[in-house]
Chain A
Amino acid sequence: MPASAPIVEVRRLNRYLGEGEGRVHVLRDIDLTLDAGQTYSIVGPSGCGKSTLLYLLGLLDLPDSGEIHLNGIRADNAGEAERTRLRGALIGFVFQFHFLLAEFTALENILLPLLRQRTIPEPEARAWAEEVLCRVGLRDKLHRRGNQLSGGEQQRVAVARALANKPPLLLADEPTGNLDQANSEALFALLHELAATHNQTILLVTHNPDLAQRCHHTLPMRDGRFI
């Protein structure tokens, strides 16, 4: 166990979704601690609440009860502005479906979060974005628009985009979900390599047991809890 404080600490997290009759208790008293530099995989049947948990950790959604601490900061009851700031500073998100901005090139998609954070000057950001894209094997597709890329390529751009800011916490919802075996392997290897070099914490959801095994920790989930 590393000595530093946990990057994520979750206490008795509950989330209900839906209204009235259709109201579902999606997450039930979730407790979770993620340490910096470690990789975690969540596995579990469809509908058990994996995506819901990731959205909560990514501060894209609010819990009904419970606490979320990111890097020691209480985030679940923080204001909208503070949550946006934490999101920009701490979190990279890979959505289940690639979600690129279609009007922007692969390179620009990666620059969007980089330039927003304004941590490095633009030429540097551009050079780094190009490097990240090369690392995911898209050297010759830097200037392709999102909608001119194949599904696998889009997913790789999405991963590159989430990693480009070197966020301490990378949340990935089935990042290899619609990739073939070879592409999945490559992407997965890349995730781990990048995470290791920058001491990033990865929490990913996957249905692929082989890939899940390669993480430091595997967290099986069922009916809104870890088992």
Chain B
Amino acid sequence: MGSGKFLNLRIAWRLLLAKRRAMLMSLGGIVFGIALLIVTQAQTAGFEQFFIRTILGTNGALRIQDRFQPTVASMVAHDETGGAAMEIALREGSTYEPGIRHPAQVLEGVFAFESVLAAAPVLRGEVAISSGFRTMEGRLHGIEITSYLAVSDLDQQIVRGSLLDFAQQSDGVILGSVLAERLQLRVGDTVFMRSRQEQRRFRVSAIFESGIELVDRVHFYAHMRETRRVLNEFERVSYIQATLVDPDLAPMIARQMEYAVGHHVASWQERERSWLEVFRALKLSSAISMTTILLIAGLGMFNTLAIIVMERSREIAILRSMGYTRRDILEIFLMQGVIVYTIGTLLGWICAAALTRTIESIPIRIRGIFSTDHFVMYWSFQHYLLAAAIAGVVVLTAAFIPARRASLIEPGDVVRGTSG
């Protein structure tokens, strides 16, 4: 037996040991709930991070795209160029002009931001691409290879062929892996793109795989010069792709940049909002289902403690008769919950880490929205804290109610009930 605060803890421990079996059940539930909560969060977040990494590596953090202007300014622009076809009234008080007419000028404005790491112009268009085998719609991206490599992970996504070949061949293209597969194309093969009047001939220099099906199925790259010919666009670019020192700040920088350059600037969070929402919903729903396990464990613990309090009213009365206060009794019963909670959380954490490690190392070929060769798990201490916090609320609530009942037991009522 210890003294002081530990005295109540030791008494709690003893009462707990006397109900070992029932308490082990609650403990198991807590361990199980915490471990599963963490693992499911790690897994969902793993795919989310994978997605974000790929999106950032493919599309950059910021995309500077269409021009927008207050009406007055746009009238001037209208008079200057006479290109009325390019102007669309987006909403009252502003006009809207697709693409970037003066990329060099806008790039200058973009690089004025210190948080911009790199920026590269891209000209994009939907193009029919054919092999000898079949023709498919693809999304052609015209790039300047050096600047584009600075704003993407394209170099790391190459699975066949080489970027060097692409850089050296003016008619080179880089195809998404799914697209290449569907067209039955290999590195070195010839492909055709239909321009307005003529078929233009290209050669497959490399094949890339981002891991995101949506990208790998339609994306392909060619040199900017060739792309201008195919798309018959010799002035504008579709957008400028930029990477940032801190991608998390993209929405804020996007807003500032819009004012600076007069173009709509989309952050990756804005562009991928629907996907990010899906991940959020997945994380939330899995957290809710795992919380159910914790709730059941909490209910079990509530039951066990309520039974202990009923069975031990005599012991409680004796303790009270010895000078133990209501607060002592409350503590003794709360501590039983805290002990189970603490052990449960630690064991749950250990199980979660072990499970995460194991799942991570299981080789599994996923080909769907994502392609990966093993489960992507994201380690975040926040998941561990989240699980501990949820379990804490559940368990402490479950312990508090019986503990309070115990503290309100009147010693007189109990001893009178049992002695003659």
Contacts and interface: CB of A to CB of B under 8 A. Distances in A.
Given A104-B14, A122-B2, A88 B415 contact: no
A225 to B, nearest CB: 20
A115 B3 CA distance: 6
Interface stretch (A4-12, A70-78, A93-101, A188-196): A93-101
B319 A61 contact: no
Given A62-B412, A104-B14, A115-B2, 6 more contacts: A87-B321, A103-B15, A108-B1, A112-B1, A112-B319, A125-B3
Interface of B: 1-4, 7, 11, 14-15, 17-18, 314-315, 317-326, 328, 410-412, 415-416, 418-420
Interface stretch (A32-40, A50-58, A179-187): A50-58
Closest 4 CB pairs of A and B: A88-B323, A61-B412, A113-B322, A96-B419
A95 B299 CA distance: 36
Contact of B321 (A60, A89, A108, A122): A60
7 contacts: A93-B322, A100-B318, A102-B315, A111-B1, A112-B11, A116-B322, A161-B322
Given A60-B321, A84-B320, A103 B18 contact: yes
Interface residue range, chain A: 35 or more
Contacts of B318: 95, 99-101
Given A111-B1, A115-B7, A46 B420 contact: yes
Which of B3, B314, B319, B321 is the most central at the interface, judged by chain A CB atoms within 10 Å of its CB?
Answer: B321
A110 B67 CA distance: 85
A221 to B, nearest CB: 15
A173 B419 contact: yes
A81 B418 CA distance: 25
B326 A80 contact: yes
A213 interface: no
B419 A95 contact: yes
Given A84-B320, A85-B323, A116 B419 contact: no
Contacts of B420: 46, 51, 96
Contact of A84 (B3, B7, B14, B326): B326
A118 interface: yes
